[in-house]
Structure 1
Amino acid sequence: MWGIVPAAGQGTRIQPLAFSKELLPVGVRREGAAERPRAASEYLLDRLERGGATKVCFVIAPGKTDILRYYGARVGGLDLAYVVQPAPAGLCDAVFRALPLIHPDEPVAVGLPDTVWFPEDALARLPDDRLAFLLFPVDRPENFDAVLTDADGRVLEIQVKSPDAQTRWVWGAFKMPGRVFHALHALWLERDREDEYFGGLINAWIADGGEAVGVPAGTRYVDVGTLHGYREALSLLADVSPSPLAGEGRSPRAGA
């Protein structure tokens, strides 16, 4: 399974930083008996691997080579690849930059590298055979993409940063077969690439007869991309024992 990590954003909500926001130190990891700072994006890599990914594609901006230097070619059990989003053009554009790597018969999962969420294995609870969103309850759904579902878990609508969100459940990651990923890309092209956020594209997918499910398997979700979220993540992680990235002693390549 491929994992896609859209890491091309400018991180304006938490600037100024001297490095990419995906490398912001959040919590710690163990290297043998020692503890080291842990980059924010390491939490997503860990969760992608626990969810079944063996390969991850980072989508980076031209100037974010510090991410490549930090991670290198492999972390834990994950082989890493990198593609470039030439200019900021939204989440859909970033994620679909990985399209040439994704085979139609292979599942793919997408998560956000400036988030920390629990449980760590929640992604594994999503089905492989359909478009599925991993849902988390939050106090301020208007700051996220709220996912409205029916009693059977079918997605009815994604309310993108709506001040009138009708549910507390928001998506934190999603997974789908490669063929669905390619079909969503085709729909995005048909819509003249007008969808910046995935919520709008998924609403069009549903209106066109497509299906998606929401799985409320998440318990805690924090956006580290703001100063408030960063403080919240530190508080959350203070209650969690430090852990390595998918195994004792496995760490990113030095250099960041």
Structure 2
Amino acid sequence: MWGIIPAAGSGTRIQPLAFSKELLPVGSRFDEGVERPRAVSEYLVERMVRGGADKIAFVIAPGKCDILQYYGDRFGDAAMTYVVQPRPGGLCDAVFRAVPFVHPSEPVIVGLPDTVWFPEDALRALPDDRLSFLLFPVERPEFFDAVITDGKDRVLEIQVKRANAESPWIWGAFKMPGAVLHELHALWCARGRSDEYIGTLVNAWLAQGGEAVGVRAGRSYVDVGTIHGYREAIGLLRGQE
């Protein structure tokens, strides 16, 4: 199973930093009995591995070689791969940079590297055979992508950063068969590669007869891309101790 991590963004909301925002120290971990700072992206990588990923593809900008130096070729049992996004092009463009590596028969997980969420094993709740979104309740859904579902958890619409979002449930990660990733990529290309956000592309895919489900397995979710989010993440991690 592949895990795709779009990490090419410049992180302007939390700059200036002397390193890639995905390496921002948040919390700590023990390495051979020694406590060391933990990069924020480690939380996602760890959760992907718990969810079954044995191959992780970081999509990085040309200057973000510090991510490669930090993770190297492995993280636990997972092999690490690095794909370059030559210039900023949005989330869809970043995710689809990994398409050539993914066989249609392989499941794929996609998550955001500057987030911290619980429970740690929530990705296990997502099915392998369809596009599925891991949902989390938040107080300000207008800052995220709210997911509207029906009574059977089928996704009806994704409301991208909408001021009057109709649901407090947002997606924090998603999973799909490799074949669906290829279908979404083909649709993105057919639409002139104009979709920046995953939500608008999925809405178009749903309108063409595609299906997706929303799984309310998430409990807490923090975007660490701002100073406020950073402080909130530290508080969340303290609450888990």
Please indicate, yes or no, whether the TM-score normalized by the shorter chain is above 0.5: yes
Tell me the distance in 2 between the aligned counterparts of 1:115 and 1:146.
Answer: 16
TM-score (norm 1): 0.93
Q: Secondary structure at the match of 1:239?
A: helix
Q: How far off its partner does 1:173 sit?
A: 0.1
What does 1:173-212 align with in structure 2 at a 5 Å threshold?
173-212=173-212
State the identity as a percent. Answer: 71
Q: Secondary structure at the match of 2:189?
A: helix
Q: Does 1:35 align with 2:35?
A: yes
Tell me the distance in 2 between the aligned counterparts of 1:226 and 1:191.
Answer: 32
Tell me the distance in 2 between the aligned counterparts of 1:213 and 1:122.
Answer: 15
The runs of at least 4 aligned residues of structure 1 exceeding 2 Å deviation read: none
Q: Deviations for 1:36-94, whole angstroms, at most 9, x for unmatched residues?
A: 00000000000000000000000000000000011100011110000000000000000
What does 1:235-250 align with in structure 2 at a 5 Å threshold?
235-241=235-241
Tell me the distance in 2 between the aligned counterparts of 1:70 and 1:49.
Answer: 17
User: What's the counterpart of residue 116 of structure 2?
Assistant: 116
User: What's the counterpart of residue 107 of structure 2?
Assistant: 107
Tell me the distance in 2 between the aligned counterparts of 1:157 and 1:15.
Answer: 33
Q: Deviations for 1:190-239, whole angstroms, at most 9, x for unmatched residues?
A: 10001000000000000000000000000000000011000000011112
Q: Secondary structure at the match of 1:81?
A: strand
Q: Secondary structure at the match of 1:30?
A: strand
Q: Does 1:19 align with 2:19?
A: yes
User: What's the counterpart of residue 213 of structure 1?
Assistant: 213
Q: How far off its partner does 1:17 sit?
A: 0.4
Unaligned runs of 5+ in 1: 242-256
Tell me the distance in 2 between the aligned counterparts of 1:33 and 1:48.
Answer: 24
Tell me the distance in 1 between the aligned counterparts of 2:188 and 2:6.
Answer: 17
Q: Which amino acid aligns with 1:158?
A: I
Q: How far off its partner does 1:34 sit?
A: 1.6
Q: Secondary structure at the match of 2:162?
A: coil
Tell me the distance in 2 between the aligned counterparts of 1:87 and 1:137.
Answer: 33
Instruction: Tell me the matched-pair count.
Output: 241
User: What's the counterpart of residue 65 of structure 1?
Assistant: 65
Tell me the distance in 1 between the aligned counterparts of 2:195 and 2:232.
Answer: 30
TM-score (norm 2): 0.99
Q: Which amino acid aligns with 1:172?
A: G
Tell me the distance in 2 between the aligned counterparts of 1:213 and 1:142.
Answer: 21
Structure ranking higher on relative contact order (CA contacts 8 Å, 6+ apart)? 1
Q: Which amino acid aligns with 2:42?
A: E
Q: Which amino acid aligns with 1:155?
A: V
